[in-house]
Amino acid sequence: MVRPSDSAYDELRQVVAGDVDKRPAVILRPVDAADVATALAVARESGLPLAVRCGGHSGAGHSAVDDGIVLDVRNLKTLEIDATGKTAWAGSGVTAGEYTAAAGEHGLATGFGDTGSVGLGGLTVGGGIGFLVRKFGMTIDNLLAVEVVTADGRIHQVDAESDPDLFWAIRGGGGNFGVVTKFHYRLHELGDFVGGMLIQPATPEVVAGVLQIASTAPEDLSAIVNVMAAPPAPFIPEEAHGKLIVMTLLGYAGPAAEAEKILGPLRALATPIADTIHPMAYAEMFPPEDASYRPTAVGENMFVDSVDDAAVETILKQLTECDAPMRVAQIRPLGGAMARIPADATAFAHRDAAYMVNLAAFYTSPADRIAKHEWVTSFRDQLETGTPRAYVGFVGDEDNPERVRAAYPGATYDRLAALKRRHDPENLFRRNQNIPPA
């Protein structure tokens, strides 16, 4: 238990988002599921608002809370790898980078996101879309069971047989149904792997070409395409700083000779400004990070069925006209193994989307934040087609029921709300992209 007067308090209350500065009444740091149950009892009896945090990456600031309880699960670090059975039990405080490095020692991997410091707890209950998503599916597609503490303080072992409804909700429900203390994952053999970053000038032809190649490539390739202002990084020539670039981050789960069939056409689109793509261990996709880096940014997220020439022109126009020191349109081609899971198999329901798009802009002051939020919202409205769709892990607004509905369409939302009434009727777990009890 850490109080405001304790020396560790300021460090422990800090989250990744630089504009989140919450001061909880107490930080509780459990070491097992029984501790979590005790903490939930305190929250129920005191009536204090409760925030659950692991990696602290919530863009909406849900990892922290003013004058309430932060349940900090970062000490839940157990990791048991069954290399023969190709499964692993991991505590929710383990990070994606820690798990990936340990599994990689056995030539195995589970697909997570794109950042090593993200905690498995928040990432997994949201879905998990990263560098292996087209090859092995989302993180939740490789989830076999969980240990979860529900709002009443009971500790459950949940899988598709023991409680299929709760297991369905946990896989994409975004933390509305309990505190998961352990995850049981499927592991995949991952031998040869090619990964890294390719940076090229951002022209309509390059953007369209990268997306066409990445979306039609074999499922061994998963890519994250960032159209953005070039940062003043040492690996980017100074004359390119601030200019629009296409930074393609990719992972190819196969031999280098096969990857080259894709890399050749990619590189031929334009002379690379930087090219770090090479055969590597998959764990190298999660390099060490600067723990002091706390960006101030606003963002929007959506799923779209196409990014046509008109959309590419809109992306380049919006990024050119924006004055944010850093602004980006990130496009993730989907499909593959992720799309073969039925839409109603998990609480994540957007299996048929061709692309996930994230828009973001850094800001410099409170007034600038308002302006940049208006910019990303308008940008989203210009690209979004059809019924709004969103990924709960990247919804940035702290309290926006419309975006929650976009994450959970129609019957999915209704089923989640009914399960919320069963498992958390008082809405104890409400500091999230919330689904109130039906």
Instruction: Determine the pLDDT at residue 385.
Output: 87
The two structure tokens encoding residue 80: 């048991």
Mean pLDDT of all residues in 301-327: 97
Mean pLDDT of all residues in 416-430: 98
DSSP 434: -
Do 158 and 299 belong to one domain?
no
427 in a structural domain: no
Last residue within a domain, chosen from 190, 221, 251: 190
Domain with residue 54: its CATH number is 3.30.43.10
Do 137 and 200 belong to one domain?
no
Do 44 and 86 belong to one domain?
no
Do 253 and 308 belong to one domain?
yes
2 in a structural domain: no
402 in a structural domain: no
Do 35 and 172 belong to one domain?
no
Do 378 and 261 belong to one domain?
yes
Do 131 and 204 belong to one domain?
no
pLDDT in tens, 246-287: 999 999 999 999 999 999 999 999 999 999 999 999 999 999
Do 65 and 112 belong to one domain?
no
Range of the domain at 383: 194-394
Do 242 and 273 belong to one domain?
yes
Q: Are 294 and 21 in contact (CB under 8 A)?
A: no
How big is the chain by its Cα radius of gyration, in Å?
Answer: 21
Last residue within a domain, chosen from 160, 190, 220: 190
**Three-class SS of residue 2?**
strand
pLDDT in tens, 153-203: 999 999 999 999 999 999 999 999 999 999 999 999 999 999 999 999 999
Q: H-type helices in 322-364, by residue range?
A: none
- How much of the chain exceeds pLDDT 90, in percent? 98
**Strand runs labelled E in 30-115:** 50-53, 69-72, 79-82, 87-91, 108-109
The band of 398, judged by pLDDT with boundaries at 50, 70 and 90, is confident
pLDDT in tens, 8-33: 999 999 999 999 999 999 999 999 99
Phi-psi region of 60 (alpha: psi -120 to 50; beta: other; left: phi over 0): alpha
Residue 291 pLDDT exceeds 90: no
Last residue within a domain, chosen from 170, 190, 210: 190
Do 341 and 221 belong to one domain?
yes
Residue 397 pLDDT exceeds 90: no
Instruction: Determine the pLDDT at residue 334.
Output: 98
AA identity, residue 92: S
Do 310 and 226 belong to one domain?
yes
Closest CA to 227 of 213, 210, 239: 210
- How much of the chain exceeds pLDDT 70, in percent? 100
Query: In whole angstroms, what is the distance from residue 221 CA to residue 391 CA?
Result: 21
What total of structural domains would you count in the chain? 3
Instruction: Determine the pLDDT at residue 184.
Output: 98
Query: In whole angstroms, what is the distance from residue 159 CA to residue 170 CA?
Result: 10
412 in a structural domain: no
Do 230 and 363 belong to one domain?
yes
